[in-house]
């Protein structure tokens, strides 16, 4: 399941900001700090996680999503300006860009950003001013790509619930219960309209370690044999947020919105590229509709293992100061604490964090998560029929 409070245990003090009343010491709002008295060594203290227990939101309503990459100029002339450089991380997924300032993009440049991310799945932009912008300005940029998603259980900067925070120090890294901290997931896929073009930016990080790995769900689908591809088409899976909410409550966390579950196709079509991608993840996909439990578990276990071991269609992004990573429907893994907490897949990727540093340094990131269209699939076409056309 996705993290419900922070990425791992609280390594400091949870300090009350407000109290529920004169006769109680139970805080309505809690903030993560480093030591008693509210002191912190965070580079961006305004981004420290807060948890408002009084903050509640109604169920999400459907909305009309505009896919900005659809009609973007494929020459990328407004995005990859003179002096910029782009380099592939792997053949199928991942690119790194320098010489581009995301906060200065025109509308045409933002459209081309959506197209580039749809094509390359995940793009790391270096030397960005994103973290130094007023939080409202960063949200305005992200909001161009869709309605902001407010995470039901994670910490957020005070006053900005639209920001999802990843925060931990790593003094207590242990492998007592698991052999690996990998936790492949795709973000909040239990929503009827899961995220699309997503922004994650670094605030503090260890000198070495704490990378994020992304997997190309399009290539994962392409690697399957035609009979398996055909089998998957037409099947839907249940994506549930109930377990995430329960996990948050058990840890004393918040639940800002009643949990939901939705059915999505196992194979999803990207609205810009037309590519087909697997749309399952270990964080939220619970079962396949219409199959018996043993059948569902066997097929899901096969697909999740297929995704996780595909090192030839994965990209590892190393964080550096002032880096912003933008990704689309992908699967990623964050190396998290124990029990493993899973982050997510958006449209065509999934990801996982790598929890491999033991120096006690802070790993602190912020995510802006615009929602996109409701997942859909296009009919399966046999390879010989595609070649005729």
**Strands, sheet with 13-19, edge to edge from the N-terminal-most edge strand:** 13-19, 27-33, 50-52
CA-to-CA distance for 224 and 72, rounded, in angstroms? Answer: 31
Phi/psi zone of residue 120: left (φ > 0), alpha (ψ -120 to 50 degrees), beta? alpha
CA-to-CA distance for 346 and 186, rounded, in angstroms? Answer: 5
CA-to-CA distance for 296 and 147, rounded, in angstroms? Answer: 33
For residue range 78-101, list pLDDT tens digits in order.
Answer: 999 999 999 999 999 999 999 999
> What pLDDT score does 10 carry?
36
Rounded to a whole number of angstroms, the CA Rg of the chain reads 20
Residue in the block written with tokens 């002191």? 39
> What pLDDT score does 180 carry?
73
Domains along the chain?
13-60+97-103+120-388 (3.60.130.10)
DSSP tag of 189:
T
DSSP tag of 61:
P
Q: Which is nearest to 305 in space by CA: 375, 209, 215, 235? A: 215
Distance of CA 179 to the CA centre of its chain: 23
CA-to-CA distance for 128 and 201, rounded, in angstroms? Answer: 9
Residue in the block written with tokens 């006690």? 360
Over the chain (389 residues), the average pLDDT of each successive run of 10 is 36 43 57 68 93 94 96 97 97 96 98 97 97 98 97 95 88 64 79 96 94 93 97 97 95 94 97 95 94 98 93 94 88 41 41 73 94 96 67
CA-to-CA distance for 114 and 124, rounded, in angstroms? Answer: 13
- pTM (whole model) above 0.85: yes
Quote the tokens at residue 63.
Answer: 């909305």
Give φ, ψ of 30 to 5 degrees. -125, 145
> What pLDDT score does 331 carry?
55
> What pLDDT score does 338 carry?
29
The sign one gets for the Cα dihedral 22, 10, 159, 372 is negative
């Amino acid at each position: 399941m996705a993290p419900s409070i922070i990425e791992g245990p609280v390594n400091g003090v949870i300090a009350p900001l407000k109290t529920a009343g004169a006769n109680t010491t139970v805080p309505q709002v809690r903030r993560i700090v480093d030591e008693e008295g509210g002191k912190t060594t965070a580079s961006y203290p305004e981004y420290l996680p807060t948890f408002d227990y009084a903050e509640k939101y109604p169920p999400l309503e459907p909305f009309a999503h505009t896919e900005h990459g659809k009609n973007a100029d494929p020459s990328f002339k407004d995005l990859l300006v003179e002096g910029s450089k782009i380099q592939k991380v792997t053949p199928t997924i991942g690119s790194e860009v320098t010489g581009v300032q995301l906060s200065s993009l025109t509308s045409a440049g933002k459209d081309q950003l959506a197209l580039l991310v749809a094509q390359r799945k995940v793009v790391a932009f270096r030397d960005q001013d994103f973290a130094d912008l007023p939080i409202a300005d960063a949200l305005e940029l992200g909001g161009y790509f869709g309605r902001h998603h407010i995470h039901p259980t994670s910490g957020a900067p005070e006053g900005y619930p639209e920001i999802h925070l990843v925060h931990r120090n790593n003094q207590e890294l242990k492998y007592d219960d698991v052999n690996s901290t990998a936790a492949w997931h795709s973000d909040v896929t239990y929503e009827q309209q899961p995220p699309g073009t997503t922004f994650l930016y670094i605030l503090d990080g260890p000198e070495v370690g704490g990378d994020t790995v992304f997997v190309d769900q399009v290539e994962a689908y392409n690697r399957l044999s035609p009979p398996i591809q055909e089998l998957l088409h037409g099947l839907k899976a249940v994506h549930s947020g109930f377990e995430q909410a329960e996990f948050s409550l058990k840890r004393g966390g918040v639940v800002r919105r009643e949990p939901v579950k939705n059915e999505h196709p196992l194979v999803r079509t990207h609205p810009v590229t037309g590519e087909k991608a697997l749309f399952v993840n270990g964080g939220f996909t619970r079962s396949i509709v219409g199959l018996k439990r043993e059948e569902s578990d066997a097929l899901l276990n096969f697909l999740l293992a297929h995704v996780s071991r595909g090192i030839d269609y994965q990209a590892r992004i190393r964080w550096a100061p002032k880096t912003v990573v933008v990704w689309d429907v992908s699967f990623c893994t964050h190396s998290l604490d124990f029990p493993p907490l899973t982050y997510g897949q958006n449209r065509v990727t999934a990801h996982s964090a790598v929890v491999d540093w033991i120096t006690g340094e802070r790993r602190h990131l912020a995510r802006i998560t615009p929602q996109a269209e409701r997942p859909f699939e296009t009919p399966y076409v046999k390879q010989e029929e595609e070649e005729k056309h």
